[in-house]
A = this chain, B = another copy of it.
């Protein structure tokens, strides 16, 4: 039974998992959907009330009946490397590849449709509330008056992007920024703003969830530092235990969201409370593993290799 890794990049995180799969002797195939058709060949047959499919990369053939799991790492756009790429060729190739994979009785880390929902920030906050996390008061709005009211109510608020930094090369840095109620909120009418109560923090927490295994890491923050992603603190990530209550909330969250893998970011305040900031279903873990020594890539490899009760039907995406 083979693990299929969909990725376009030779990133450290994927390489660490590949090494663990090799060590364990688990058969594995790596495919960039951009190489289909071309380097990769696909065939899916639906006949006699049954289904069988094959994927062939560099002469290695993977049968859908032998597919244990799919790791959706950083897949390229289907057919992007074709001699004459087009939106229609991409759509046809996406249909063939993902339609075939979705027809197989396989496990997904993460199922693409659960991943899509899990990317919605406002939905994340709602599910976090329902899972029992401490969540900083937050507003998403296109109404300048409501943005100002929110800033007046909570005084110290941060503004950040919901979808991430604007695309472009070179990329535009868009750190989370502290603002006061006297700011000019008129531009909110031109594009939705995400305002959140500022949590003065003594540390950043990254909690990685792989199946039912949790790995928490902590990095002390500089006093007054707002966005841990920008600027050096001189501190390193250190493994810390997961508070029992947080562990329960994490398990509720991933069960509700249908995620096999998730990376949670928290701000630890002066009283030691972990405030939910976001949950990235595709978050990196290489940097945490390298600094803390936590066996996250091994846990991912193990999850991908595990046999679950055989199912003859495609995975419903939950």
Query: A residues near B, CB below 8 A?
Result: 36-37, 40-51, 79, 82-84, 86-89, 91-96, 98-100, 102-103, 113-114, 116-117, 120-127, 129-130, 135, 137-143, 146, 150, 161-164, 166-167, 189-192, 194, 256, 258, 313-314, 316-318
Contact = CB atoms under 8 A, between A and B. Distances in A.
A255 to B, nearest CB: 10
21 contacts: A37-B190, A42-B142, A44-B139, A45-B138, A45-B141, A46-B139, A87-B167, A88-B163, A88-B166, A89-B191, A92-B161, A94-B163, A95-B162, A96-B194, A99-B121, A99-B122, A102-B117, A103-B123, A117-B317, A127-B314, A317-B318
Contacts of A143: 41-43
A46 B314 contact: no
B102 A146 contact: no
Contact of A95 (B99, B126, B163): B163
A303 to B, nearest CB: 22
> Interface SS of chain A: helix, strand, loop or mixed?
mixed
A184 to B, nearest CB: 17
Nearest to A105: B126
Nearest to A47: B137
A141 B79 contact: no
A34 B126 CA distance: 25
A142 B99 contact: no
Contacts of A82: 190-191
A38 to B, nearest CB: 8
